[in-house]
Structure 1
């Protein structure tokens, strides 16, 4: 670890905890909106307007492509311009995306747009605003926390703000189920757009920015150090694991909604009454892992990664035989528990593997890798589910999770991405 990584951050500012809570609620807004879209809005909407299942997944896939491309871009920009403006831009982009999705869905439902390809294009372009601009929020938030925490604190604090997203996924599905039943299938999109706009304003006006402006000379040094960061021997294993995890969980989460509709023979708004509570249980399992198990068990990042693969694997295998709602809920619990353990492991591990000057860069790379698998999940997941066999996607995910567990156990060198109190204080 470089000498620069041993410089203690300024932890004396009294606004630190309030700033972290503000980021927590912003990520909660994103988590709630995304889960409402994935669990309660887009799958039933796509079947209602006649889109094939794989097209619904491809809407997320195109957005994930832009997310993966632009996350490192915004991470670098947060080094130069500060975390606050990039985080605010991300929330604003997310608000615009949800508003355009609402308008596109409304046009399709009212018959203003009837062509299948045109409906798909409108939905995909609308969601892409989130991938292009909304991707700034997460790396800026993670780098903001890294700026203000010591190495000993970083994993728990990253897990804390990440749990904001998880809290959103707890609130989102249950709230969406009630909202859809009361105000229609598109209502969660409009509400989320308004909330995200408000949160963008709060970030811009209320988030204290500690980072000093970067001079051209300093920026040149940082950019020179960041070249080739993605294939650094200390960073690459975390990124490989993140890509594989996004692919496995993308398959499981996207196919899950359609599998519920088919296994339980439900459709339209009625589907949200089942998928919403199931996703809520899964999100509660994420919170259990991130807010209870991780702080108490004090496991190494490497251990969190391979241990997290175990409940994910159990959930994937159980999905093959699940035929009733109770079993499907248990699947979501296992998936949530596994993600809650594994994600903070590679996020904090990659952060601890680089110097403070490169936190924006590595945060962008991690967020990019974390969404990269969703680019191809419509084809490995929904296309295979619809046209090859309904159990094949879960078998693919199971094989991938076995590889990931072995990779995390054997490929990560001991000590990389870990806090050492004897050398890092």
Structure 2
């Protein structure tokens, strides 16, 4: 089940990433604007925040397999509906409100709701199937590595498919999600499926709150910088639109590779357990942001962002493993929902905040990300227990 779950996560995350190269032009082809696209993406991220804990309770009641299947059904329906509307709107003049409403329902609500089930089910199962800090860190690192690999595979595959037609990635994405659904549905139910009957895990629970706050700080910092990367590259280096797109794409590949390799191979070898990973990763990320602040050219800016990716690749397994080790096995699903929702929360307001800070000063988002990373390191060092 572990191998199939990791593969499913890789395929689903890659299917989402396939749309990255074509979302902007597709949005214009169907008669919508940048703000419309931003609203749909924000709605999708909000679904992760709103439904992550709910999916955790569903895992408690129905098990990992059932939740993963239900989530993939919803994600498939959303992806198919989105592809159908794109196809129609690209060839027919439709009212803007109709296209935007269908996009919000399919790509925003349905896909966002279904997609939210994947990390919750995945983290719950891996937490229940691994014992001890070392094994738990390896398991969480493997899941995070799939996310990192998808950052490279998804956009690359989307770009290649776009050569055959702008809308091709939009139509292939639901096929991949549906294939994952069939594969997971045909699997036997895993043995490790918690069915606890205890009190609901509160957001203020002192065992997990330091992890949630530290993780929110790290991912908010990343969201601040991600949204302005293209502007930063173009404005600082004076590149053309096409050259900027190529540099940002290259940066994405390097960051994804660094993020994946760090979680898969380096994080399990760092001493100090989850707390050590959180502290070290946060400080490395802060150093990377510091380098980006002063980087005068591409040769120094790209390595700085790779350092950020390595730092986050260290911190993420500590974030996931530490929080699940801090609670009882019967609370794994609940804490998995909180972990997923926390990450989603940063991507609801982070891009807007990052763009606003950049308008005030080009360095403000990067300085903010560095400070947030330092704050996460301090919090992890002082509030996270060694036994986790």
TM-score by length of 2: 0.87
- Provide closer, same or farther for how the CA distance between residues 57 and 303 of structure 1 changes in structure 2, counting only shifts above 3 A: farther
What residue is the counterpart of 1:79 in the other structure? 60
Is contact 1:31–1:165 with CA below 8 Å preserved after alignment? yes
Superposition deviation, residue 402 in structure 1: 2.4
The alignment partner of 1:375 has SS state of helix
Match of 1:290 among 263, 269, 280: 263
How many angstroms apart in 2 are the aligned matches of 1:168 and 1:251?
A: 21
Is contact 1:57–1:254 with CA below 8 Å preserved after alignment? no
Is contact 2:16–2:173 with CA below 8 Å preserved after alignment? no
How many angstroms apart in 1 are the aligned matches of 2:158 and 2:372?
A: 31
How many angstroms apart in 1 are the aligned matches of 2:167 and 2:244?
A: 14
What residue is the counterpart of 2:185 in the other structure? 204
How many angstroms apart in 1 are the aligned matches of 2:294 and 2:316?
A: 27
Task: Report Cα offsets for 1:74-126 as digits up to 9, x if no partner.
Answer: 111111111001112222333333334434444555463474x6655544432
Superposition deviation, residue 340 in structure 1: 0.9
Match of 2:334 among 337, 353, 361: 361
**Would you say 1:401 and 2:382 are equivalent positions?**
no
**Would you say 1:265 and 2:237 are equivalent positions?**
no
Is contact 2:144–2:260 with CA below 8 Å preserved after alignment? no
Task: Report Cα offsets for 1:105-159 as digits up to 9, x if no partner.
Answer: 44555463474x6655544432332322221111111111222222241121121
Task: Report Cα offsets for 1:236-290 as digits up to 9, x if no partner.
Answer: 11111122222111222233245456653225xx866443332121111012211
The alignment partner of 1:247 has SS state of helix
Superposition deviation, residue 23 in structure 1: 0.9
352-361 or 86-95, larger mean C-alpha shift: 86-95
Gaps of 5+ in 1: 1-18, 418-425
183-192 or 150-159, larger mean C-alpha shift: 183-192
Match of 2:124 among 120, 143, 153: 143
The alignment partner of 1:133 has SS state of helix
CA RMSD of aligned residues (A): 2.8
- Provide closer, same or farther for how the CA distance between residues 332 and 193 of structure 1 changes in structure 2, counting only shifts above 3 A: farther
How many angstroms apart in 2 are the aligned matches of 1:259 and 1:46?
A: 23
What residue is the counterpart of 2:385 in the other structure? 413
How many angstroms apart in 2 are the aligned matches of 1:257 and 1:90?
A: 33
Task: Report Cα offsets for 1:167-188 as digits up to 9, x if no partner.
Answer: 22221222223222x1234322
Superposition deviation, residue 294 in structure 1: 1.4
Is contact 1:59–1:123 with CA below 8 Å preserved after alignment? yes
What residue is the counterpart of 1:423 in the other structure? none
- Once the two structures are superposed, the pairs formed by residues 5-404 of structure 1 within 5 Å of their partners are 19-38=1-20, 40-46=21-27, 53=34, 55-106=36-87, 109-110=90-91, 112-113=93-94, 115=96, 120-125=100-105, 126-152=107-133, 153-180=135-162, 182-211=163-192, 214=195, 219=196, 221-222=197-198, 224=199, 226-228=200-202, 230-257=203-230, 259-260=232-233, 264-266=239-241, 273-320=246-293, 325-385=298-358, 387-404=359-376
TM-score by length of 1: 0.80
- Provide closer, same or farther for how the CA distance between residues 44 and 258 of structure 1 changes in structure 2, counting only shifts above 3 A: farther
How many angstroms apart in 2 are the aligned matches of 1:47 and 1:67?
A: 26
